[in-house]
Chains A and B, each alone.
Chain A
Amino acid sequence: MIPALVVFAYLGIVLFVGVLAFRTAGGPSNAEEYFLAGRSLGPTVFLLSLFGANMTAFSILGASGHAFANGIVTFGLMASSSALIIPLSIFVIGTRLWALGRRNGFMTTVQMFRDRWECGHIGTVIFAVQAALLVPYIVIAVMGGGTTLRTVSNGLVPYWLGGAVASLVVMGYVFLGGMRGTAWVNAIQTVLFLLFGTIAVAVVGAGMGGFREAVEAMLATPSTAPLLTRERISPLYFFSYTFIPLSSIAFPHIGIFCLTARRLGHFRKTIVLYPICMLAIWLPSVFLGVAANQARNIPAISEKIEARAALAGQGADVSDGERDRLRAQASGDDVILRLVQGYAPVWIFALLGAAVMAAVMASDSQILALSTMFTEDVFTFYGGKVRFGESAQVRTGRIFIVLFTLVAYLIALRVPQSIFDLATQYAFAGYAALTPLLVAALFWRGSTKWGALASTVWTAAAVLGVAVLQAVVPAPPPGGAVAVVSAGGIEVIMRGAAGTTVLGFLPVVPMTIISALLMVVVSKFTAASRPGPATLARYFELSSSTPQPAAVAG
């Protein structure tokens, strides 16, 4: 019960931070102050909060859960590729967004797209697709909140209640504190997890009798030795994951965060230290997830390993219901909490529970981004602010967020997938496919609004297609795969246990490549609708000076 009380105390603290930020700002009377912290974040808060916004339920619970089932490959799939591509995209794209936002007063990327391509309703389509793609990311935050509170309370707080509490607290401090409150909470959560994550690794290592012994024992056991290599994953599949981090800069909350820095120089520290922060979070998460396979003396983990073995051995022969039950039991999303619960003193478990909760609640940035987008890109754009006033603008944004979070919550109660798979297949893949919009808007004079529309519609259709396919074709048992589309003896689309592949690649690869091609081809065919010289000059005069960072990474 103590761990649950500590987590609830933490939730109280973050609500207090929201109130504090509200008072500091003198209330949300100024939209730029509320939504962008007055574009005034200093270098340290900017680094910690931008990193914290990316450090979510996915990085902690999803990564360790995926590593528990798949081994060290999880680290190469997401951590090391992200450590290069995310800061590189901030360097190339984020700095330009900052400059354009400051100069033109943009508060969202859709405002920039509308201005850049001289369009109106197409911007609304981009908003709708961006908002829909945020649903899976908010769903995993609800799932993370439910999983964490259920685990730290030993089941006293049920999953549905834990998810509801986490959602309500996040909404509470986002509504009160806006971007300033969100940035402060993100900074606190990053420090908290870095601190207690390190302690947890040491304590779990001691509890297991030393990691060296645990790893040697895993290598000596045929069923666990492959978890310490990547032999179960194909190189094509591994390569596919380098497309996933492209999504980061296209996420609205990351784009909006880029607008909050007081000076361009604040990006420097963030870009350089980002890989180190990722290393400090992901290495313990993945390593503990893998090592959990040797913690068979913890009953909850032992049950997971047995369920996984049963699924692999008899999965094809059991009923759908029984397969779903085994899959839920084998899920490793709570494995890091179970490890710490099994080996650490209760106070460390309590503090780590609070730290994990903090990471899970990184959905705050996404919720605030949605609020900003709705109020600016829809309500204000269609004249609501002029007709009903600024207070109605904020109120409408909040109602939108409540409804949106409610939808995400209801989905989270029913979704059968793991946090990792849900995030990578829908949210990350979708936003990666939207990245060509940003690149074209900022670096290609020849891009047009019709090219942007084609890329956006394609992204929506592709994500929907993957979702429908996976709903219609049930997941086979672990290790198996079903051919869905074959041509000329080649299996084009395969349905595996963890998702879908296209010619061996994750769907994100064809989705992103086709999105980029559509942008190019459709823009070429609609060259007559290119924006006027005045608009182009506003964007491309940025490139007139040297050096040209845009050219650095293409």
Chain B
Amino acid sequence: MRKAVVYFGVAVFYALHQDFWLWREARPLVFGVLPAGLFYHAAYMVVSSLLLWGLVRFLWPSHLENTATTRE
């Protein structure tokens, strides 16, 4: 179940990269300088970092470290 939720979450987030609703409009200018489309993708990167934090926090493959060291 957890895997399915993660699959779905990553797929939805990947799809959100295609922000067709901001395609032809520069306004509003965020902070007076950043066109909406540029700000959206900058914010997308910040949210990417949060999503990755969640993956690292809750699904970290710590068993790989154990298998890697079994032959050392």
**Chain A residues within 8 Å of B, Cβ to Cβ:** 72-73, 75-76, 79-81, 83-84, 87-88, 91, 95-96, 98-100, 102-103, 211-212, 215-216, 219, 225, 228-231, 235, 238-239, 242, 263-265, 268, 271-276, 278-279, 283, 286-287, 541-542, 545-549, 551-554
Contact = CB atoms under 8 A, between A and B. Distances in A.
A460 B7 CA distance: 32
Given A231-B23, A239-B18, A275-B48, A215 B29 contact: yes
Nearest to A80: B41
Interface residues of B, number: 50
Given A95-B64, A98-B68, A541-B67, A80 B45 contact: yes
A271 B10 contact: no
A102 B68 contact: yes
Given A229-B26, A273-B49, A274-B52, A98 B35 contact: no
Contacts of A268: 56, 60
A545 B63 contact: yes
Contact of A275 (B2, B24, B34, B52): B52
B21 to A, nearest CB: 11
Given A79-B45, A229-B35, A276-B46, A547 B59 contact: yes
B17 A552 contact: no
Interface of B: 2-3, 6-7, 10, 13-14, 17-20, 22-27, 29, 32-35, 37-38, 41-42, 44-46, 48-49, 51-53, 55-56, 59-72
A328 B7 CA distance: 45
B64 A264 contact: yes
Contacts of A275: 45-46, 48-49, 52
A41 to B, nearest CB: 15
Given A99-B65, A542-B67, A76 B59 contact: no
A204 to B, nearest CB: 12
Given A287-B34, A542-B63, A551-B6, 14 more contacts: A80-B45, A83-B44, A88-B10, A99-B64, A99-B68, A102-B72, A103-B67, A271-B52, A275-B46, A279-B42, A552-B3, A552-B10, A553-B10, A554-B7
B23 A235 contact: yes
A328 to B, nearest CB: 28
Given A103-B71, A552-B55, A542 B37 contact: no
A99 B67 contact: yes
A552 B70 CA distance: 25
Contacts of A278: 45
A80 B64 contact: no
Contact of B56 (A225, A271, A545): A271
Nearest to B64: A99
Contacts of B20: 235
A102 B69 contact: yes
Nearest to A268: B56
A-B pairs, top 10 by smallest CB distance, nearest first, are: A545-B63, A228-B26, A80-B41, A99-B68, A99-B64, A264-B65, A549-B61, A83-B45, A275-B48, A275-B49
26 contacts: A79-B41, A84-B45, A84-B48, A95-B64, A96-B61, A99-B68, A211-B33, A212-B29, A215-B32, A215-B33, A216-B29, A235-B23, A238-B18, A264-B65, A271-B55, A274-B52, A275-B48, A275-B49, A276-B46, A278-B45, A287-B33, A549-B55, A551-B7, A552-B3, A552-B59, A553-B6
A272 B56 contact: yes
Contacts of B32: 212, 215
A265 B64 CA distance: 10
Nearest to A242: B17
B13 A84 contact: yes
B19 to A, nearest CB: 8
B65 A263 contact: yes
Given A98-B68, A231-B23, A235-B23, A91 B37 contact: no
A219 B61 CA distance: 48
A75 B39 CA distance: 10
A545 B17 CA distance: 33
Nearest to A84: B48
Contact of B17 (A81, A211, A541): A81
A102 B42 CA distance: 36
B7 to A, nearest CB: 7
Contacts of A81: 17
A286 B65 contact: no
Contacts of B51: 84
B25 A229 contact: yes
B41 A552 contact: no
Contacts of A215: 29, 32-33, 35
B3 A229 contact: no
A271 B38 CA distance: 23
Given A83-B48, A263-B65, A553-B10, A75 B42 contact: yes
